[in-house]
Amino acid sequence: MTRWILHLDMDAFFASVEQLDNPQLAGKPVIVGGLGPRGVVATASYEARTFGVHSAMPMAKARRLCPHGVFLAPRFERYQQLSARIHSLVSQYSPLVEPVSLDEVFVDLTGTERLHGPPEQVAREIHSRIPEEVGLPCSVGLAPNKLLAKLASNAAKPGGLRVIRPEEVAGFLTPLPVEALWGIGPKTARKLASRGIYTVGDLQGVEASLLVSWFGPKLGEHLWRLARGLDDSPVVPLREAKSLSQELTLPEDVYRLEEIQAHLRGLTRQVWGRLRQAGLLARVVRVKLRWSDFSTHTRQLKLPEPTDHLGLLLEAARQLLARLLATREGRGVRLLGVGLAGLTPASFRPLHLFAPEEIDQLVWGAQAKYGPGALQLGEQGPHPPESPLPKRLQPSTKGEENHTGPAPN
Ligand SMILES: [Mg+2]
């Protein structure tokens, strides 16, 4: 049976939400991100993109390119709220819904035809219902797997709907540049280009054995499959997720510490938004960093208790970044990622999450760094005298990855 996977991607999500909530901003260049001198752009509206502004750009540069733009700080709680509405709308069509980020979701429509009609019709319905009912523009891709569905929604941007039927896969893929494929980063693309391979069509013409001799068995076989649009990865609902992560490939290497930290905070807030939305707590925080020489390192830290406390996650991520940056040696940052693992349902929230001294210290630290609104304590009452002694955030002793070799992308 043909699988049918839908990929829904909201267009310029944070900026579109700001335009929705303040109609005076409609049609204007809206730029959402850190407003401080070291801030970075999280999302730019399509009006702002015509000035050359794009996400992950230093805010100072965005202001130079688009001096008449409307510059706003992100409101993650609001984005999370609308993301949850989008999630519940698409959940009407399938139990298999996987949010990839606050503004992107995969829906497995395989075998839902009897209940909801043909997948193409469902795709059209979702594509029109999101703007009608949520008030936000979106792009939709429908294809036989996740790889192709994401490529389809990308091709449909902004505001479009693109279906790739099984018989259309080859024709769709052939003209694309190899970089369009998941997992082909600049390094692999350069290696391919040095052998005269620029498009997916070129890549299809290379024997599997040759790819394996160039890239090793794992990446070689992966590239062979990618070139043919083969991907059998499942759509995994958030409640079954083993981990949540958010990554950002920077358009250019970033050297300034403040800018690296700003990206890290943005990523942490986004992954926290998904954690909260899923009703989960995380015990393990990971930070992944790829240097300008493409070596990739991951550090992780185990928290004393599972948590969904933003301030704690920000502090843990900050500590991990500091450890990674200790090995910097003048290199720039190419990619940053924040991951949460050791996930448990929030209903199992431990009674005494942290010792009071520890909370105070964290609140103080977070507020000093991120402003007075950074951390808000819930309805926690006074702690009993037998509260455990404050534990420091301990780096976990096991499972620490340290890839020193070059990464495939
Ligand atoms: Mg989007």
Confidence class of residue 406 from pLDDT cuts 50, 70 and 90? very low
Ligand 1 center to 137 CA (angstroms): 10
Ligand 1 center to 52 CA (angstroms): 17
Comparing 107 with 274, the larger pLDDT belongs to: 107
Convert the pLDDT of each residue in 357-402 to its tens digit.
455 455 545 545 555 444 444 333 333 333 333 344 444 433 333 3
Average pLDDT along the chain: 86
The per-residue b/e assignment along 68-97, b for 16 or more CB within 10 angstroms, e otherwise, is ebbbbebebeebbebbbebbebbeebbebb
Convert the pLDDT of each residue in 177-225 to its tens digit.
999 998 788 888 999 999 999 999 999 999 999 999 999 998 899 999 9
Indicate the fold that domain 241-373+388-395 takes in CATH: Dna Ligase; domain 1 (3.30.1490)
Comparing 346 with 244, the larger pLDDT belongs to: 244
Q: What is the mean pLDDT of residues 139-158?
A: 97
Contact 268, 73 (CB under 8 A): no
Convert the pLDDT of each residue in 272-326 to its tens digit.
988 988 889 999 999 999 998 888 999 999 999 999 999 999 999 999 999 999 9
Q: What phi and psi values does residue 8 have, to the nearest 5 degrees?
A: -110, 125
What pLDDT does 77 receive?
86
Confidence class of residue 405 from pLDDT cuts 50, 70 and 90? very low
Convert the pLDDT of each residue in 5-53 to its tens digit.
999 999 999 999 999 999 999 999 999 998 887 788 999 999 999 999 9
What pLDDT does 221 receive?
92
Share of the chain above pLDDT 90, in %: 69
CATH number for the segment(s) 1-173: 3.30.70.270
Ligand 1 center to 360 CA (angstroms): 37
What pLDDT does 398 receive?
37
Comparing 251 with 287, the larger pLDDT belongs to: 287
Q: Is 104 an active-site residue?
A: yes
Contact 340, 271 (CB under 8 A): yes
Catalytic residue among 18, 104, 259, 358: 104
The pair of structure tokens assigned to 52 is 């050359």
Q: What is the mean pLDDT of residues 258-280?
A: 90
Ligand 1 center to 161 CA (angstroms): 14
Residue ranges covered by each domain of the chain: 1-173, 174-227, 241-373+388-395
Q: What is the mean pLDDT of residues 237-253?
A: 86
Q: Could you tell me the pTM of the whole model?
A: 0.77
Tell me if the domain spanning 174-227 has CATH number 1.20.1340.10.
Answer: no
